[in-house]
Structure 1
Amino acid sequence: MSVSVNTPCGEIIGLQCEGYQEFRGIPYAEQPIGVARFKAPEPLLPFDEPFKAERFGDSAPQDKIPLFGINHTSEDCLYLNIWTPASDDKKRPVMVWIHGGGYLTGSGSQLIYNGRSLAMSGDVVVISINYRLGALGFLYLNDLISADHGISANNGLLDQIEALRWVRNNIASFGGDPGDITLFGESAGAMSIATLLACPTAQGLFQRAILQSGGADQVLTRDEATQMARKFLEVTDIDPAHPEKLWQLSPDQIVKAQRQLAKMSFDRGIYNQEVRQTGMTLLPVVEGNILPQTPLSAIKNGDAKHIPLMVGCTRDEWNLFIKMPGAEGLFSQDNVNDIEKLDLIKQMEQSLPGMGERAANLYEKLVQQNKQNGTLADVYSAFESDRMFRIPSLRMAEAQSDHTDSVYMFQFNWDKGGFGACHASDIPFVFGCTEHPAGQFLCGTHEAAAKLSTHVQNCWIAFARSSDPSTDGVGKWQAFDRENPVVMCFDEVCELKTDPFSDSADLWEGVL
């Protein structure tokens, strides 16, 4: 059964389901194809005819990951999806999801991000968006190629901003309140939200934010970004003085070329201490009017003090990356039984120069205290979990709490899935899909998972409604600050704990 909605951009026809309405694959901007490649998104022109929003739009070009279930990709990818209880005059809170995937992979239409449960449980409107990824979204060519070509920086970020503008202008037609927008996202989605907090052009487009497993320090300087772009041009055999071939490369050629950039490194530490970063090298760039300073600096300066935040992570983030089938590196299935502590120290030294041995000793001690039969892989996972996610989340919460008393920290300790409390294990609880195959892959099959999902959803919905995540299920959730660093820990029993980061945080003082 279909449902028709009249919006400022034209008539949109979606799906009438039992208890909710679903609109799939609505374009929010003119598609960035042909000469528009590497340019900022253009606002969507009104539809000449009714638009059928009955199938998801293509995802951005990317490497295929079987677990993600993404089949169709193309540069024609700027789409969003809406789940609403009803397209009526009721002004419901709106929750906009920004997907993760390291700025290289992912889509708003992944099954694990289905917004039906949240929309029905909370009487809210849920939206998920696509945006340009990889080189198409974040390759910084501006200091190498003439401005005559009309290229733009931070196009993936600009896509997100354009999607929020579309939401502001059209969501009232779907029963949502354009003045009551909560962003929520995980991994690169959360990093995107942190970056949007520092974007002047994003001001006023959202009122609060939930950041799951993403810090405010994942950005590049112009010099670093130019180094990445120069490597991309070298790999594709393009002369920056004659860059016409950039518009002739196929999406597959672009994705293949950007893999070479993942082998490069840059320094993401904000102090004198180096913290080397590899893998995620196509990131938002600090430049110009779009992103004039790093997100963490903007937060420290109070530029986002009017935005209530929920910030958190999972306890064992890095387990996903070393235990996933097909994982490569030091702790791959082929190597894991032969690893010695000296190998671990060398690995940590690459990420944290000059501190590898100190870090190895500290995390080995912590693992031995907290886990029977802990392995060197567990030690490395604890280190990387802190380096990439837990400490950056803490730093963002600390910085924001200096300006407002509306900061709430959380940590997912649920570890009954195959990889423990790993990266992305929070997502099924947020979207109410713990009983689906993808949810069970991350969270296991324990009967208490559904109950925890209800608690989590209620907290997210409460925050979207009132900027306070307290609920009857978890009780009063006290705000986080430096003097009272309380964190809501989600597990079979949900409880506030004081400073679960304290055992390792001292290592990162003056580093992250």
Structure 2
Amino acid sequence: MVQRSLRCWRCRQRGLFQRAILQSGFGTYTIAPDDAERQTRAIMAALGLAPTAPDALRQVPADRLLDAIRQVTGGDPTRGPGVVADGIVVPHTPFGPGAPPVAPDVPLLIGHTATETTGLFPPPRAFTLDWPSLPEMLPAAVHDAAGLIAGFRSLHPGASASDTYFAITTELGMGRNARIAADRHAALGRAPVFAYLLDWPVMPQGGRMRSPHGLDLPLVFDTLSRAPGAIGPDYAAAQPLADTMSAAWTHFARHGNPNGAGVPHWPAYRLPQRETMVFAAISAARADPLGAEQALIARYAA
């Protein structure tokens, strides 16, 4: 969704977008051209391809490409491929510090899933972690792993080491970036912002994927029967949630506001309350549902 985010906020396309929905990709950071070139060369080398033969990438199976990205990034999605702020096509990082507001009058619906990183090429060990091995698995941005882990364990005492890994890496990446984008757009006071968190554990692969990246797509488009790999064959339990989310997205596309028939009251996101719709077995709006987790990220990570 980052590419859509950047398209929406680019100066050249100002006026083309009347609403914006950012799902798990927010344009809060971009990649410098030199870093992008280094990443590209490393991924091509991992694939055994010459850096001067980009057309050969079209023949690489998706699984092999993801394995190469996982190898280069160590399973950290923030170190992976991304959009380059070249100063021309993408003039600046849309939600970066000091960036001028490009679309201040566009209503924004924004959110992420509870465990994004189960679906973002995590290291295989991530699903079977024990507590002693957890600190070494966390991204380099974490400068006090012990403090961060202790904080998350106090918030979620029943969580396993793997649960904690996915919670931390999700909030360090997608969670923090969603918060930055929502805060900055809401602070302009020009157009409403509506924030959401999708916390719906799915059953495929023994339930280990929890609430992965991309889970919102079959729910929003109400295509559960076509997504057995994401939802599972017994998708009837998720149908009420799909009814709610697809109705909310449709209302927002039509009116710039997700409230309407079939949707629980969804207040606009305002500072400092940060009201957020939590889509779950019983969906409801909550004030800053990840505020404690984000306070820990701010304290113990760069």
TM norm structure 2: 0.83
Determine whether 1:228 maps to 2:59.
Answer: no
Contact 2:10 2:102 survives alignment (8 Å): no
Contact 1:277 1:351 survives alignment (8 Å): no
- Alpha-carbon distance between aligned partners in 2 of 1:284 and 1:475, rounded to the nearest angstrom: 35
Say which structure, 1 or 2, has more relative contact order (CA 8 Å, 6+ apart).
Answer: 2
What's 1:426 paired with? 216
For structure 1, list consecutive stretches of 5 or more residues without a partner in the other structure.
1-189, 267-275
The one-letter code of the counterpart of 1:210 is: I
Determine whether 1:381 maps to 2:166.
Answer: yes
Alpha-carbon deviation of 1:328?
Answer: 4.3
Cα offsets for 1:277-304 (capped at 9, x unmatched): 4576322101131111112128953222
Higher helix fraction (1 or 2): 2
The one-letter code of the counterpart of 1:415 is: P
- Alpha-carbon distance between aligned partners in 1 of 2:76 and 2:169, rounded to the nearest angstrom: 11
- Alpha-carbon distance between aligned partners in 2 of 1:509 and 1:262, rounded to the nearest angstrom: 26
Higher strand fraction (1 or 2): 1
Q: How many residues align?
A: 293
Cα gap change, 1:439 to 1:204, in 2 (>3 Å)? farther
What's 1:316 paired with? 115
What's 2:261 paired with? 472
Determine whether 1:210 maps to 2:3.
Answer: no
Contact 2:31 2:85 survives alignment (8 Å): yes
Determine whether 1:263 maps to 2:71.
Answer: yes
- Alpha-carbon distance between aligned partners in 2 of 1:194 and 1:473, rounded to the nearest angstrom: 27
- Alpha-carbon distance between aligned partners in 1 of 2:94 and 2:232, rounded to the nearest angstrom: 31
Among residues 231, 250, 253, which one is paired with 1:461 in the alignment? 250
Report the structure number with the largest CA radius of gyration. 1
Cα gap change, 1:213 to 1:439, in 2 (>3 Å)? farther
- Alpha-carbon distance between aligned partners in 2 of 1:321 and 1:228, rounded to the nearest angstrom: 17
Cα gap change, 1:429 to 1:254, in 2 (>3 Å)? closer
Alpha-carbon deviation of 1:229?
Answer: 3.8
Cα gap change, 1:209 to 1:461, in 2 (>3 Å)? same
Tell me, what secondary structure is at the counterpart of 1:228? helix
- Alpha-carbon distance between aligned partners in 2 of 1:414 and 1:407, rounded to the nearest angstrom: 22
- Alpha-carbon distance between aligned partners in 1 of 2:108 and 2:3, rounded to the nearest angstrom: 14
Alpha-carbon deviation of 1:331?
Answer: 2.7
Contact 1:300 1:399 survives alignment (8 Å): no
Tell me, what secondary structure is at the counterpart of 1:408? strand
Alpha-carbon deviation of 1:402?
Answer: 1.0
- Alpha-carbon distance between aligned partners in 2 of 1:317 and 1:398, rounded to the nearest angstrom: 20
What's 1:396 paired with? 181
Alignment of 1:129-148 (within 5 A): none
What's 1:295 paired with? 94
- Alpha-carbon distance between aligned partners in 2 of 1:463 and 1:498, rounded to the nearest angstrom: 21
For structure 2, list consecutive stretches of 5 or more residues without a partner in the other structure.
none
Contact 1:425 1:443 survives alignment (8 Å): no
Cα gap change, 1:250 to 1:328, in 2 (>3 Å)? closer
- Alpha-carbon distance between aligned partners in 1 of 2:271 and 2:233, rounded to the nearest angstrom: 35
Determine whether 1:341 maps to 2:135.
Answer: no
- Alpha-carbon distance between aligned partners in 2 of 1:259 and 1:414, rounded to the nearest angstrom: 27
Contact 1:405 1:479 survives alignment (8 Å): no
What's 1:438 paired with? 227
Contact 1:347 1:356 survives alignment (8 Å): no
- Alpha-carbon distance between aligned partners in 2 of 1:260 and 1:440, rounded to the nearest angstrom: 23
What's 1:506 paired with? 295
Alpha-carbon deviation of 1:409?
Answer: 0.3
Tell me, what secondary structure is at the counterpart of 1:364? helix
What's 2:195 paired with? 409
Cα gap change, 1:260 to 1:415, in 2 (>3 Å)? closer
